[in-house]
Amino acid sequence: MKESPFRPAPLIGMVLLASLLWFITFALGGIFSFWVKISVSAATLAGLSLFLQPPHREEFRFDARAIALGLIAAAALYLVFWMGKAVSTTLFDFAGRQIGGIYTKAAEMPMGGIALLLFFVTGPSEEIFWRGYLQRQLMKRFGRWPGWALATAVYAGVHVCSLNFMLVGAAAVAGGFWGAMYARCGNLAPVIVSHSVWSAVIFAVFPMQ
């Protein structure tokens, strides 16, 4: 399949839409659970990005190697976050409160429901948009690693509306990690596995509380 040309206008529009959806999800209340809002937001962005940029078959190779790599990466990132929590709570008085603030959202729905949404909807959808569309476009325009850096900055930036410094930092670390995986292997499959497994485990199975 021929690679589609870089188109800045749709890309900018998608970033603005992502910023709006993340603001609605994090900063505004409502009748819907946070977990439902983030899942709907991510799925909307994924659907639009697949329409704007049809995927290449080689970017979704869910073979044994991709699954194994994704599981190893999820475990490694989980370990990184445990170490990050230990360091941040030692250095910053506010770190523990802000990390706890993230987990208070877990009371909005059963843990099983949260895990299912994260694993089947939010994780795959975020990777399809943030790495498969946004980062892919930026790497096409600016080169592999400059594009990775810009995509990571945008991913972390949309989390600023949460007013939670620890969450923004976590998004930067996780986004940079998954973005580097994608930049290195060019296959979304292990990145989707890593994101889906990691997020389900860290928020619903073995939370860092």
pLDDT, tens only, 182-201: 999 999 999 999 999 999 99
Reported pTM: 0.94
pLDDT, tens only, 102-135: 888 767 788 999 999 999 999 999 999 999 999 9
Query: Is the predicted pLDDT of residue 2 greater than 70, yes or no?
Result: no
- Mean pLDDT throughout 59-72? 94
pLDDT, tens only, 43-58: 999 999 999 988 777 7
Q: Where are the domains of the chain?
A: 8-205
Amino acid at 48: L
Q: What is the pLDDT of residue 192?
A: 98
Query: Is the predicted pLDDT of residue 159 greater than 70, yes or no?
Result: yes
Confidence of residue 151 (pLDDT cuts 50, 70, 90): very high
